[in-house]
Chain A
């Protein structure tokens, strides 16, 4: 069968289940394409030989009742994988080999999928362009020298370029949805507590969530169904009734109330984004949804709140990297000197910047003025959503304020880089599910995404709305394999 890598996850699952394709054929096809795509720099660690062996073993005794039978998959290098190097995109973890498996990846392997390798990402998931990775920039398959978004940039690049049929990323302030938007793919950030954080390298614990990234909504629903489980190894995992999202997926969204928040019409937003949003509203109406104007008055305060809360939590989480028990160690004259040099040489500039912001806002005399203040504003932001969801079932916004930008374009201006996440950050602060679907192209032909935000634990509803809209939008990604010689 030709063009295996062009098939969606759902097609591959069906073809393996009906024995039209073997796991070996599928795995080899994705491995071959990954090998030809080194220029994208999507992988940090390749595990191809093992993947091909596992596929062979699967084919010898195939269990076709599984949800991901013999499906090869590469995952973001923020998930701990037992016996396979896990770097979080950082020099400080360059040689770290976990002795345990993250719950989310374990769930995936339990359903029959096969690990192909670990995908590039911004260092400790701190970035919006994949430029903070110790392992170098990732190319967006859409165009040369274009960022794939971040922090799950290797993931978005790999899915868009069809190096893996599907993948997982993590999203602390937009790290799944923004790269999905930049690459013309679908990305879901689930409700906080839906997917276990056990075994995911921690960035900001009250915001981090793992989620699926896919070529279409149906594939996204299937992977969400696999990765979302209650886990007693994560104290903030929530025990709620989880749907079989892919089975319950429907395009019937007639009468669903979709809110349009006026505060998302930000100053200086390009006309292309405004037009895309208007088109999105028309698509939603065409699908039978009812459009309702709403207000989220504290939207403008979300980014400043995020840039206190996330660095504060990061500074605490990253205190563990001291060069003692694992990871990189620099030579020092004494213990303190060793710590300081290890962290100075082991972390990149953006991570150091955020640790220092976090340390400052938590330091004596500043805690109330910054951290406590931010927690209070976070409450106001959550209240805004609670009020809005009394009137609507979902909220429709653009995913990002622009399309993908060139590598290097925003690297030296942290604040302009942070503004990328203006539409995605409020969702993390409120712990809600949000999904980005590709919805059009800008004048340069680069993809643009729309975000659908749901009530807590209502992933099914936003998947359904996206599924219905996806059909109307009929998006086609423009990728010409420029990196393959």
Chain B
């Protein structure tokens, strides 16, 4: 199968990455060569194979839901791209 320009635009939308025409065309080439390489997996029959989701064969541990860190609000807000006192500011969402 091959990935066309329309598919690239669809993936770009799902990924929230804007692509212009030039970039989209380059991605068509790149992704097709990568998927040609990936298609090799179809040589294998895997109907009766259990998928491996984690190599660490442990069950997740439970822990008490406690706050352990100090109040870092100021430092955390400092990393925000646009400061406005105690809030994260984003473009207007509600009309």
Contacts and interface: CB of A to CB of B under 8 A. Distances in A.
Interface of A: 95-97, 99-100, 192-193, 206, 232, 235-236, 238, 298, 300-301, 303-305, 307-308, 315, 319, 322-329, 332-341, 343-344, 347, 352-353, 355-357, 359-360, 363, 370, 372-380, 382, 414-415, 418, 429-431, 456
A328 B78 contact: no
24 contacts: A95-B79, A99-B76, A206-B55, A298-B44, A301-B44, A304-B39, A322-B16, A325-B80, A329-B81, A329-B82, A334-B92, A336-B16, A339-B16, A340-B17, A343-B18, A356-B31, A357-B31, A373-B42, A375-B53, A376-B52, A378-B51, A414-B34, A415-B34, A418-B34
Interface of B: 3, 7-8, 11-12, 14-19, 27, 30-31, 33-34, 37-44, 46, 49-56, 58, 60-61, 63, 69, 72, 75-76, 78-82, 88, 90-93
Given A307-B38, A326-B80, A431-B55, A347 B31 contact: no
B49 to A, nearest CB: 4
B18 A324 contact: no
Contacts, number: 161
A324 B52 CA distance: 34
Contacts of B60: 235
Given A301-B41, A355-B17, A379-B50, 18 more contacts: A95-B79, A97-B75, A193-B56, A298-B44, A303-B37, A324-B81, A325-B80, A332-B91, A343-B17, A344-B17, A353-B31, A356-B8, A359-B11, A360-B3, A377-B41, A378-B51, A379-B51, A418-B37
Nearest to A239: B58
A373 to B, nearest CB: 6
A190 B32 CA distance: 34
Given A236-B58, A360-B31, A308 B38 contact: yes
A134 to B, nearest CB: 16
B53 A343 contact: no
A456 B55 CA distance: 10
Best-surrounded residue of A206, A315, A322, A357 (most CB of chain B within 10 A)? A357
A380 B18 contact: no
Given A326-B81, A329-B81, A100 B69 contact: yes
7 smallest A-B Cβ distances: which pairs?
A: A431-B55, A375-B51, A329-B81, A326-B79, A340-B18, A376-B46, A379-B52
A382 B52 contact: yes
B40 A300 contact: yes
Contacts of A328: 81
Contact of B27 (A335, A353, A378, A379): A353
A356 B38 contact: no
